[in-house]
Amino acid sequence: MSSSEAAGPSPSSALAGRSEFVSSLLAVVLALAVGAVLILAWGASPVTAYAALLDGAFGSWNSLGETLLRAIPLTFTGLAIAIAFRGGTFNLGAEGQLFLGATAAAWVGLAIPTLPAPLLIPAMIVTAAFVGALWSLLAGVLKLRFGANELITTIMLNYIAILFVSYLLRGPLQEAAGYLPQTERLSANARFPALIAGTRLHLGFLLALAAVVLAHIALWHTSWGFKLRVVGLNARAALNAGYNVRLLTLSAFVVSGVLAGLAGYMEVVGVQRRMIENLSPGFGYTGIIVALLGQTSPFGVLAAAILFAGLQVGGSTMQTASGVPSTLTTIIQGLVVLFVIGRGAVDLFLARRGAK
Amino acid sequence: MTSAIGDGPAPLDLSGITVRFGSFTANDAVDFSVGRGEIHALLGENGAGKTTLMRVVAGLIIPQEGTIRIDGRPVRLASPLDAAAEGIGMVHQHFMLISTLTVAQNVCVGIAKAGRVFPDLAKVARDLEEIGARYGLQVDPHALVGSLSVASRQRVEIVKALYRGARILVLDEPTAVLAPQEVDGLFRVLRMLAEAGTAIVFISHKLGEVMALSHRVSVLRHGRLVATKPTADTNPAELARLMIGEDLVLPTVDGAHTPGQVAIETRGVSLRDELGVTRLSDVSLAARSGEIVGVAGVDGNGQQQLAEILAGLQAPAAGAVIMASPSGPVDVSRSGPGRRIALGLAHIPEDRHHTALVDMSIADNAVLDSIDRPPLARRGFLAHRAIRAFATRLIAANDVRCTGPEQGVMTLSGGNQQKVVLGRALAHDPRVIVAVQPTRGLDLGATAFVHRQLLAEREKGAAIVLVSTELDEVLALSDRIVVMFAGRIVGAMSRAEVTLERLGAMMTGQAA
Ligand SMILES: Nc1ncnc2c1ncn2[C@@H]1O[C@H](COP(=O)(O)OP(=O)(O)OP(=O)(O)O)[C@@H](O)[C@H]1O
Ligand SMILES: [Mg+2]
């Protein structure tokens, strides 16, 4: 686009220097503050409610385990979206990539259940990653070949993927008993060991941490990551610098799909032990918020994933302890999005206030 | 020229303005005022602090110290809206229009006058036409901004400011993007506005323009105001001295030259744009090692497209682009910039924000096109120390005024951004240089520096295609000059054969 851009220092130079971290933190604090008002309006005490929320999310080994367990898929989908975003593409298709990756992994696990774990686990991981990448790549090819906007194609591909998985789970891959849309249970060889005894937290959390570190290294310490970021910021300058922009764009789709596929794999082997129709309560979409709140930086994504997982896990404790419906946490998540996106407006507001 | 400056308090009066970015002082206790109907020129080297001072006026920066008075009243300008409410309009060095909206829609953004929720676009359009007619500023209110030429976008910015009731108009390097005739048109408008009482601040690096247009001149150096004088009492030589603290001689190419082999060549190249309009037809141009080929012409006659085809950003519809390589000439028509960079091409594009710079640090931008080469990266991993060292050398060699390699490139002054682009292009001993308006936005000292650099590369044997709408520049540097008109090369001549009449006739398409 040959546009006249507003280059140069950010308009609110008076406030330049506020780090992205602070602005994310501010978004969370503001969201919690508005949430507190809603709790008051509901007729409960925000202090009690939030204390219960905190307790439910992090108060015991068990609740901490549940929170981190929930953070695993969110970390993977968050990373998936963050990396795509850094490369200038919007992968809204993590949900579909997750479902297909999960199903493919389950299929491998069920096809060769007796393979020893050290072989079976990598085989399932590779399959999930490969299928996720393939599905994502499809959107990438549609974009480069036909100029189809990935905002639309990835969402449409989600429907195709999820409905296709439903078909498989009611047809070819359905358990022998044949009541529910789900596969047989995976063999013990295919499952992950628990990380903290007595909790459901499994080895996948360490893999999520490893993915965060790897993504960080890839983005900030490799020439691939450097070029990917350049493409995301200014594709024309990347072209002029001699980069293979198309290939880099495709690689962003691929890496993103790999990570989303792994998110599905984690749920299958770590939580459900089988593929089920309702595997994901929208991890692929929540991942978008996680990526945004994490400022599309891998460690930020990890922090945001744990925060969102905590909100979701602690919500039910809050409901029991204070009567505030757990759906409040959904509202808080929504508010976080608004405040992250509305950051510019908040800055401007504060600047005007401060100046008067 | 004495001014028609009115009596009473000055519409705009700055005193003791100090702006610091961290430990760096961009404006140091600057006093500056503009009277009613006055055109006040603001001069200074790249990074002297001109834009910063005007951003203060536009409400984009809140100064750490100092007072702003409007009509004698102290005011606090905390946002562009505050500034607009005080009747201040600014035409930025880099335009601030939204290219997917129409002119009228752009004008409506952020103002209540156009209607609170649903702007009355028809009325706005009528008002714009009315303003346009009054000051000779033709704009089509219904045109998409993205489809407009640079000169018309600038007119839109001015009309926008006037529509918002600007009584104080700031123009940051408005002529840098204009062709000579367009400059004349702009000056007519500004004079008319001044007659009508508007206070005008005019920033430019071109002393001739400043002498011709302004009533008073102020010079900034390293953030400090060094002089304010009536234009009539000064002269270009004095102004240059005030700006850079020394006398300046622009270098010229020496006559004797023995060019080598053809290093880059187009053969019968044609190009149509997306709308099917022919932009280039049958253009054949060759540049040999050790020569500078100047491409002259009025802006918009295909030079931009020719440069993009040479650089590999566009593929020609017909014809071929040939580059020399160690194993003989190769056809690069179908290969992108990557291949050509490997063959020794360096491109200094016209539009640095869209084509050359990325919103990252100076260091990252310095290594943008060489990030894959050791020692900057090894086995795919970045060598941050080597990158930093490379950038530090580039900064020193090109006199980039900055706080260090980590500074964001977009926070550099316009001229210093250009130095980064140039330094990067010349850092790897290019065999072919495609330079488009390489000194646009540069101050006199930096212009001389760039010219010396290009001449040095010529000495080293680079083939240089220099596209410029500045005739002085083309004449000073070129061994050969070709003239483009309406997408064709309408004439070619060697240095010795050039006369201004011939050039002028060719540029307007009157002679071949
Ligand atoms: N947001 C910022 N952060 C840090 N430094 C800045 C920022 N904005 C401007 N500067 C520095 O302030 C100095 C003055 O910049 P300014 O843009 O005012 O220069 P200028 O006189 O307009 O130069 P030019 O003629 O090149 O446009 C420069 O050295 C620039 O690097
Ligand atoms: Mg400037």
Residues on chain A touching B66 (C-beta within 8 angstroms): none
Torsion of CA A68, A70, A73, A75, to 10 degrees: -50
How does pLDDT run across A204-250, given as a tens digit for each residue?
A: 999 999 999 999 999 999 999 999 999 999 999 999 999 999 999 99
In DSSP notation, B58-84 reads TTSS--SEEEEEETTEEE---SHHHHH
| pLDDT above 70 for A55 | yes
Strand order in the sheet with B88-91: B88-91, B168-172, B199-203, B39-44, B216-221, B224-230
Q: How many secondary structure helices (H) and strands (E) does chain A include? A: 14, 0
| pLDDT above 80 for A313 | yes
A264: left (phi over 0), alpha (psi -120 to 50) or beta: alpha
How does pLDDT run across A127-159, given as a tens digit for each residue?
A: 999 999 999 999 999 999 998 999 999 999 999
Residue tagged 């409007």 (tokens): B70
- Residue of the CA atom closest to atom 18 of ligand 1: B49
Choice between B111 and B474, residue whose per-residue pLDDT is larger = B474
| pLDDT above 50 for B70 | yes
CB within 8 Å: B78 and A224: no
Residue A11 inside a domain? The answer is no
Please name the amino acid found at residue B13: D
ipTM, two decimals: 0.87
Query: Quick check: B373 contacting A, CB < 8 Å?
Result: no
- Containing B287, the helix (H) or strand (E) segment is strand B278-288
Bridge partners, B216 (sequence order): B40, B230
| Interface subset of A 309-348, CB within 8 angstroms of B | 348
Query: Would you state the structure tokens that stand for residue B20, as one six-digit string?
Result: 């610091």
In DSSP notation, B481-510 reads EEEEETTEEEEEEEGGG--HHHHHHHHTTS
Closest to B400 measured CA to CA, from B25, B46, B1, B134: B46
Query: Would you state the structure tokens that stand for residue A106, as one six-digit string?
Result: 């389950």
- If you measure from the C-alpha of residue B81 to the centroid of ligand 2, how many angstroms do you get, rounded to a whole number? 21
pLDDT of residue A2: 33
- Shortest Cα–Cα distance, A82 to chain B (Å): 18
Q: Closest CB to B96: pick one of A6, A236, A239.
A: A6
- Shortest Cα–Cα distance, B330 to chain A (Å): 18
pLDDT of residue B6: 56
Instruction: Give the C-alpha separation, A316 to B3, whole Å.
Output: 76
- Mutation to probe ligand 1, out of B18, B52, B222 (largest number of atoms < 8 A from CB): B52
3-class DSSP state of A8: coil
- Shortest Cα–Cα distance, A178 to chain B (Å): 51
Domain count, chain A: 1
Domain span holding position A130: 73-302
Q: From the candidates B144, B339, B368, B372, which should be mutated to test the interface with A, based on the most A CB atoms within 10 A?
A: B368
How does pLDDT run across B294-326, given as a tens digit for each residue?
A: 999 877 788 989 999 999 999 999 999 999 999
Pairing of strands B39-44, B199-203: parallel
Tell me the pLDDT band of B449, cut-offs 50, 70 and 90: confident
Tell me the pLDDT band of B114, cut-offs 50, 70 and 90: low
Tell me the pLDDT band of B360, cut-offs 50, 70 and 90: very high
Choice between B51 and A19, residue whose per-residue pLDDT is larger = B51
- The share of chain A scoring above pLDDT 70, in percent, equals 91
How does pLDDT run across B398-439, given as a tens digit for each residue?
A: 989 899 999 999 999 888 999 999 999 999 899 999 999 998
Choice between A109 and B101, residue whose per-residue pLDDT is larger = A109
Q: From the candidates B275, B358, B390, B412, which should be mutated to test the interface with A, based on the most A CB atoms within 10 A?
A: B358
In DSSP notation, B339-356 reads HHHHTTEEEE-S-HHHHT
The distance in angstroms from the start CA to the end CA of chain A is 38
Instruction: Give the C-alpha separation, B269 to B484, whole Å.
Output: 13
Instruction: Give the C-alpha separation, B35 to B168, whole Å.
Output: 9
Instruction: Give the C-alpha separation, A62 to A189, whole Å.
Output: 25
Residues on chain A touching B307 (C-beta within 8 angstroms): none
Please name the amino acid found at residue A172: P
For chain B, list the domains and their CATH numbers.
12-244 (3.40.50.300), 250-344+429-511 (3.40.50.300), 356-427 (no CATH)
The distance in angstroms from the start CA to the end CA of chain B is 41
Closest to B462 measured CA to CA, from B484, B435, B444, B438: B435
CB within 8 Å: A237 and B382: no
CB within 8 Å: A11 and B359: no
Tell me the pLDDT band of B274, cut-offs 50, 70 and 90: confident
Sequence-separated (6 or more) residues with CB below 8 Å from residue B122:
none
Beta strands in B145-214 (DSSP E): 168-172, 199-203
Instruction: Give the C-alpha separation, B33 to A311, whole Å.
Output: 57
Angle separating helix axes A46-58 and A61-86, nearest 10 degrees: 90
Specify the DSSP class assigned to residue B90: E
Closest to B41 measured CA to CA, from B217, B232, B170, B297: B217
Residues on chain A touching B384 (C-beta within 8 angstroms): 221
Query: Would you state the structure tokens that stand for residue A170, as one six-digit string?
Result: 């009611």
Residue A235 inside a domain? The answer is yes
Instruction: Give the C-alpha separation, B129 to A233, whole Å.
Output: 37
C-beta separation of B197 from B37 below 8 A: yes
Pairing of strands B463-467, B292-296: parallel
- If you measure from the C-alpha of residue B24 to the centroid of ligand 1, how many angstroms do you get, rounded to a whole number? 10
pLDDT of residue A3: 33
pLDDT of residue A258: 98
CB within 8 Å: B78 and A352: yes
Residue of B nearest to A231 (CA): B358
In DSSP notation, B5-51 reads --SSS-SEEEEEEEEEETTEEEEEEEEEEE-TT-EEEEEE-TTSSHH
pLDDT of residue B109: 77
pLDDT of residue A347: 64
- If you measure from the C-alpha of residue B499 to the centroid of ligand 1, how many angstroms do you get, rounded to a whole number? 40
Residue tagged 């549609």 (tokens): A142
CB within 8 Å: A3 and B60: no
Among all ligands shown, which has an atom nearest to the Cα of B419?
Answer: 1
The runs of H, that is alpha helices, within B46-179 are 50-57, 80-85, 103-108, 121-135, 150-163
Residue of B nearest to A236 (CA): B355
Sequence-separated (6 or more) residues with CB below 8 Å from residue A41:
none
pLDDT of residue A17: 38
Closest to B426 measured CA to CA, from B390, B394, B381, B380: B394
- If you measure from the C-alpha of residue B451 to the centroid of ligand 1, how many angstroms do you get, rounded to a whole number? 23
The runs of H, that is alpha helices, within B264-302 are none
Residue A4 inside a domain? The answer is no
| pLDDT above 60 for B327 | yes
Q: What is the mean pLDDT of residues A348-355?
A: 56
- If you measure from the C-alpha of residue B101 to the centroid of ligand 2, how many angstroms do you get, rounded to a whole number? 26
Q: What is the mean pLDDT of residues A173-188?
A: 90
Instruction: Give the C-alpha separation, A326 to A322, whole Å.
Output: 10
Pairing of strands B73-75, B65-70: antiparallel
Angle separating helix axes A20-42 and A46-58, nearest 10 degrees: 120
- Shortest Cα–Cα distance, A88 to chain B (Å): 13
CA distances from B120 to B123, B126, B164 (A): 5, 10, 15
Residue A121 inside a domain? The answer is yes
- The share of chain B scoring above pLDDT 70, in percent, equals 95
Residue of A nearest to B381 (CA): A222
How does pLDDT run across B452-497, given as a tens digit for each residue?
A: 999 999 999 999 999 998 888 898 899 999 999 889 999 898 888 8
Residues on chain A touching B62 (C-beta within 8 angstroms): 14, 351, 355
Residue A270 inside a domain? The answer is yes
Q: Closest CB to A9: pick one of B100, B145, B410.
A: B410
C-beta separation of A83 from A219 below 8 A: yes
Residue B299 has phi, psi (to 5 degrees) of: -50, 140
